[in-house]
């Protein structure tokens, strides 16, 4: 059998050999500036360990879920804010050293839950690396006025 001369379609001539994957840029834009949560970073030991139990974890996840539709600019304010490294308690500084995260002190961000409880994360751009549960507001205690 002989080879047949096949013509190559015009649209195939000059086409690159590699393929490119198309991404949905609109979806990327919708997430831009909004927090993404990383749970693999939670501290499971020490004085501010992550709570264990369906009820406690569900409360936290529900609160974090309420931030999903907000941008970081919407979130930041009086109740949700970066923590100053100088405002950290001795226990918080010590624990950061123990888990080799003391170089992240200036990236700590506090989410107010309700009343005293806080969630502390390490913020890198839009990524929130969840770190501590602070039920008694002891990571960076408030200085009481007139005391």
The CATH code belonging to domain 34-134 is: 3.30.2310
What's the whole-number average pLDDT of the chain?
Answer: 85
Instruction: Mention every residue, 6+ apart, whose C-beta is less than 8 A from residue 76.
Output: 82
Q: For the chain, give every domain's residue range.
A: 34-134
> Looking at residues 17-31, what average pLDDT do you find?
52
Give tens-digit pLDDT for 35-60.
999 999 999 999 999 988 888 889 89
Identify whether the C-beta of residue 128 lies closer than 8 Å to the C-beta of residue 35.
yes
pLDDT of residue 25: 47
Using the Cα atoms of residue 100, residue 81, residue 114 and residue 65 in order, give the sign of their dihedral: negative
Cβ–Cβ under 8 Å, residues 26 and 63: no
Q: What is the mean pLDDT of residues 79-91?
A: 96
Q: Within the chain, what is the greatest distance between any pair of CA atoms? A: 100
What pLDDT score was predicted for residue 146?
52
């Amino acid at each position: 059998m002989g080879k047949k001369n096949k013509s190559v379609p015009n649209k195939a001539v000059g086409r690159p050999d590699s393929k490119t994957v198309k991404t949905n840029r609109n979806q990327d834009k919708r997430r831009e500036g909004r927090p993404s949560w990383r749970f693999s970073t939670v501290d499971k030991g020490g004085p501010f360990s992550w709570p264990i139990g369906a009820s406690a974890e569900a409360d936290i996840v529900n609160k974090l879920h309420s931030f999903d539709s907000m941008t970081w600019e919407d979130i930041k304010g009086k109740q949700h804010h970066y923590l100053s490294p100088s405002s950290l308690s001795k226990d918080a500084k010590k624990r950061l050293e123990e888990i080799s995260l003391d170089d992240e002190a200036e990236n700590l961000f506090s989410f107010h839950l309700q009343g005293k409880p806080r969630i502390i994360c390490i913020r890198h751009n839009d990524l929130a690396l969840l770190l501590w549960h602070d039920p008694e507001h002891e990571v960076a205690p408030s200085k009481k006025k007139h005391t």
